[in-house]
């Protein structure tokens, strides 16, 4: 045995960072996530033996496990340093079992931040694996398997559609989205009017009609609208003008303090990234993961820039508070440092307070100082986290608020304004809300004169659709899910086509609404908000060692099976037994539960007969019908194949196609769930990837599209100098020579015989690349960032990036090829 210590972490990026910190006496390997899980094609849970799970090594992780075993045999000792949460504890437990290590021995280390000080201290103080954390993760995994394995086939059979799924958290989140959409559809707007007056009492100011006869004119929360029509507004105007004398009834001045918000939790980070950066939850967590795992800061070396990013806690370590309190007066002045540290208390304690809040590992690493080492999105998120933490330890902002009340007859007008007296924490965090305008100095009791009166019509608005941020906030309020589940839940809803995005908003699809309706009718407990939250609380009790995990699973599973048994099933027309969804190498199908006695099968997806739509084909005159394809419905000629007329059946924008001048531009959804817009006229290839608008280009007359967050108008005409997209017409499109064709044929034949490695195959080997190579290839291949943009992010020229990208891919493919050869 060598004297080296083997340290097992989750990701190759983290392995590389920790290896450089610990030095040559340590060997650091990555498990690349979970190495073992329940089997894919079997339930994998022994229902007769306290729900005992049957774990198997994941097929794609067999090589990883083999390398870990080999490294463990050579090592003097083994430390397991996976992420400090339930999932990480379970991964360490699986690795310990596979490496034949005793989980009760001190083999587990926790890194809440990846900095030299923390890591070197942690490896000196290993602890046993926390079995309570492992049990909590096992309970969640078993629950999810029991629901998914039993309920997903029921959904597929009910809706005769492949790849449908359901889950405890996923289905409840979908219910939230669909119920909000139902509120929007059922909403009936109410009309109301506001009346503003311009007064002069030594100075001019504007005030809004506040009360009539002592009653509030407008109260949106209670839906009180005393002026609800134009006729009523005009009558009030006449009465106000008839008032003979006005006076300043009251002038109220007071000082208001606005306190800093606590540092980020997972939920609040996702909300702030959505509102300030326009990011979805998934993107936020992917970028945060990279900041946590470590970045090479030149002479300082590799270091994690933020603490662990999956947390419900707002607690901060005393040494971090002390560092912030030393930094603030030096950077901003003594007035910005409160006399005592700011402490924050979360809504829940116990296991919810296991980790710190998300903060920079050192406030001395200012965003502008590390910018050159980060990609653009890494810098933007780091700056957001840094500013929030520093601001959380600063003094409150102070406002001088003034309210002026003007009365006359039975009417009272009111004006409110404020002035920022001291910016406090806003010096760092910024002003993220619209502030009131200051009011002039007027004397209480002074006579006032009405100069102008303006009435304005309004209508109440429906509740807004959920965004990633507001959905996560609502789930957190209801106690549904945990920090590690928010982003994957939303991504699953999109992947299953249960929701679609309209800008940042999440809108349920027709399928999503149908699935929720079915679940609410037949599985009310599965999608009940209170029940789902109770399960989460029970899982927390397992983590605290207060409950055995099989008992928590049983409490959920028994009522679930009762509901499952009551669901009506389609029966076999041959023997009368229920049909169930089965899987073969050709996909899913419905088969008889009496197999092998009864061998009846039928396709899962029913073939739908064409539906006449009452129109005739403009090409041949035959009736048009609605048909269904893999991407939804479309209109086609009933005389097919003699007549090939088709058109899209998609929401129309009402904008005429600028290319053919005949069709309309319709909104379509791609296979990956992304919207695009194209002409619905057969044979027209007009397409754009941003929302079109009725405005036309002043240079060529084509329709314009809205580009980016600022919705800049660009032209949709490829021949226009204001074209919205890269012009590809200058690229060579000449005929290929016979030699090129032959080479292409050989290449195609080679690809058929030997499949090309995917990014999922290559990613585990990125740890062996140089830092610049790794960061470039991860952005381009892993995140889909264009090469030129990735080059700019890393401060390279396009030519340098192209060479570096080519070299990195070559190294990865060589490493992958050697591993395959070795494995075979």
Residues with a catalytic annotation lie at: 308
Query: Which CA distances in Å does 618 have to 320, 633, 638?
Result: 73, 19, 12
Q: Are strands 447-459 and 295-296 parallel, antiparallel or unpaired?
A: unpaired
For the CA atoms of 700, 701, 707, 709, what is the dihedral angle to 10 degrees?
Answer: 120
Q: How far apart are CA 671 and CA 668, in angstroms?
A: 10
Q: How far apart are CA 560 and CA 554, in angstroms?
A: 10
354 token code pair:
């296991």
Who's near 627: CB < 8 A, 6+ residues apart?
Answer: 608, 610, 633, 634, 635, 636
Strands, E assignment, 702-799: 703-707, 712-715
Other CB atoms within 10 A of residue 480 CB: 23
Closest CA to 778 of 12, 60, 64: 12
Q: How far apart are CA 679 and CA 656, in angstroms?
A: 8
Cα angle vertex 150, ends 149, 155, to 5°?
A: 100
Q: How far apart are CA 355 and CA 112, in angstroms?
A: 7
Other CB atoms within 10 A of residue 291 CB: 24
Other CB atoms within 10 A of residue 167 CB: 20
703 has which bridge partners? 696
Helix (H, G, I), strand (E, B) or coil at 1: coil
The DSSP secondary structure of 228-266, one letter per residue, reads: -SHHHHHHHHHHHHH---EEEEEEEEEEEEEPPPPPB-H
Q: Are 682 and 669 in contact (CB under 8 A)?
A: no
Rounded CA Rg of the chain: 32
16 token code pair:
């590389």
Q: How far apart are CA 773 and CA 805, in angstroms?
A: 7
Q: How far apart are CA 697 and CA 39, in angstroms?
A: 57
Q: How far apart are CA 276 and CA 432, in angstroms?
A: 9
Q: Are 147 and 557 in contact (CB under 8 A)?
A: no
Please report the sign of the dihedral spanned by the C-alpha atoms of residue 587, residue 627, residue 644, residue 733.
negative
427 token code pair:
């010096």
Q: How far apart are CA 71 and CA 4, in angstroms?
A: 10
Who's near 271: CB < 8 A, 6+ residues apart?
Answer: 469, 470, 472, 473
Query: Which CA distances in Å does 25 have to 5, 14, 28?
Result: 7, 17, 10
Other CB atoms within 10 A of residue 438 CB: 14
């Amino acid at each position: 045995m060598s004297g080296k210590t083997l340290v097992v972490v989750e990701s190759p990026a983290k392995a590389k960072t920790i290896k450089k910190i610990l030095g040559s006496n340590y060997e650091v390997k990555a498990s690349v996530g979970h190495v073992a899980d329940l089997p894919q094609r079997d339930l994998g849970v022994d229902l007769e033996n306290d729900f005992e799970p049957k774990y198997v090594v994941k097929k794609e992780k067999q090589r990883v496990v083999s390398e870990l075993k080999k490294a463990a045999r050579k090592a003097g000792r083994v430390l397991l340093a996976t992420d400090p949460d339930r999932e990480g504890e379970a991964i360490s437990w699986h690795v310990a079992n596979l490496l034949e290590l005793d989980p009760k021995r001190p083999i587990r280390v926790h890194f809440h931040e990846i900095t030299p000080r923390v890591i070197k201290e942690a490896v000196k103080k290993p602890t046993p694996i926390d079995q309570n954390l492992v049990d909590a993760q096992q309970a969640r995994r078993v629950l999810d398997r029991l629901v998914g394995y039993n309920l997903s086939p029921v959904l597929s059979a009910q809706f005769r559609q492949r790849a449908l799924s359901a889950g405890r958290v996923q289905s409840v989140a979908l219910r939230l989205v669909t119920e909000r959409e139902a509120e929007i559809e059922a909403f009936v707007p109410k009309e109301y009017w506001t009346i503003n007056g311009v007064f002069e009492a030594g100075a001019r100011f504007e005030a809004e009609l506040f009360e009539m006869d002592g009653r509030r004119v407008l109260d949106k929360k209670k839906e009180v609208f005393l002026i609800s029509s134009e006729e009523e507004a005009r009558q009030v105007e006449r009465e106000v003008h008839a008032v003979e004398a006005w006076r300043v009834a009251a002038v109220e001045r007071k000082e208001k303090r606005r306190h800093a918000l606590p540092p980020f939790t997972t939920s609040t980070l996702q909300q702030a990234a959505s509102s300030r950066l326009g990011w979805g939850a998934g993107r936020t967590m992917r970028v945060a993961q990279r900041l946590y795992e470590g970045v090479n800061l030149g002479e300082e070396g590799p270091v994690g820039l933020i603490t662990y990013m999956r947390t419900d806690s707002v607690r901060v370590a005393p040494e971090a508070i002390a560092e912030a309190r030393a930094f603030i007066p030096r950077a901003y002045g003594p007035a910005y440092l409160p006399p005592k540290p700011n402490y924050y208390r979360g809504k829940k304690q116990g296991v919810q307070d296991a980790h710190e809040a998300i903060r920079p590992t050192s406030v001395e690493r200012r965003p502008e100082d590390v910018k050159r080492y980060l990609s653009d999105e890494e810098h933007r998120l780091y700056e957001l986290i840094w500013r929030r933490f520093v601001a959380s330890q600063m003094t409150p902002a102070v406002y001088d608020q003034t309210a002026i009340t003007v009365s006359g007859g039975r009417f009272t007008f009111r004006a409110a304004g404020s002035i920022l007296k001291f910016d406090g924490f806003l010096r760092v965090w910024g002003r993220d809300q619209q502030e009131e305008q200051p009011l002039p100095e007027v004397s209480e009791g002074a006579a006032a004169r009405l100069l102008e009166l303006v009435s304005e019509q309004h209508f109440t608005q429906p509740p807004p659709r959920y965004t990633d941020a507001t959905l996560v906030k609502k789930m957190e309020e209801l106690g549904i899910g945990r920090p590690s589940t928010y982003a994957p839940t939303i991504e699953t809803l999109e992947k299953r086509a249960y929701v679609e995005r309209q800008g940042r908003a999440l809108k349920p699809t027709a399928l999503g609404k149908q699935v929720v309706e079915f679940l609410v009718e037949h599985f009310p407990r599965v999608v009940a908000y209170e029940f789902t939250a109770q399960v989460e609380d029970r899982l927390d009790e397992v983590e605290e060692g207060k409950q055995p995990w099989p008992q928590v699973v049983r409490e959920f599973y028994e009522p679930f099976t009762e509901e499952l048994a009551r669901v009506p099933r389609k029966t076999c027309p041959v023997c009368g037994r229920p049909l169930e969804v089965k899987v073969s190498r050709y996909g899913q199908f419905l088969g008889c539960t009496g197999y092998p006695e009864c061998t009846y099968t039928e396709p899962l997806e029913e073939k739908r007969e064409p539906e006449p739509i009452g129109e005739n084909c403009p090409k041949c005159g035959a009736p048009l019908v609605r048909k269904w394809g893999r991407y939804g419905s479309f209109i086609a000629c009933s005389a097919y194949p003699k007549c090939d007329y088709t058109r899209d059946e998609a929401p129309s924008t009402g904008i005429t196609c600028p290319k053919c001048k005949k069709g309309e531009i319709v909104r379509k959804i791609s296979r990956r769930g992304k919207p695009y817009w194209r002409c619905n006229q057969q044979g027209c290839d007009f397409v754009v990837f941003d929302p079109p608008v009725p405005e036309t280009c002043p240079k060529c007359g084509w329709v314009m599209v809205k580009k980016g967050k600022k919705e800049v108008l660009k032209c949709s005409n490829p021949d226009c100098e204001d074209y919205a997209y890269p012009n590809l017409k200058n690229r060579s499109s000449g005929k290929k020579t016979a030699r090129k064709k032959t080479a292409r044929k050989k290449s195609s034949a080679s690809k058929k015989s030997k499949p090309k490695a995917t990014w999922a195959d290559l990613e585990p080997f990125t740890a062996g690349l140089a830092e610049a190579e790794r960061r470039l290839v991860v952005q381009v291949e892993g995140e889909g960032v264009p090469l030129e943009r990735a080059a700019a992010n890393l401060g390279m020229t396009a030519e340098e990036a192209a060479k570096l990208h080519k070299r990195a891919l070559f190294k990865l493919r060589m490493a992958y090829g050697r591993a395959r050869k070795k494995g075979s």
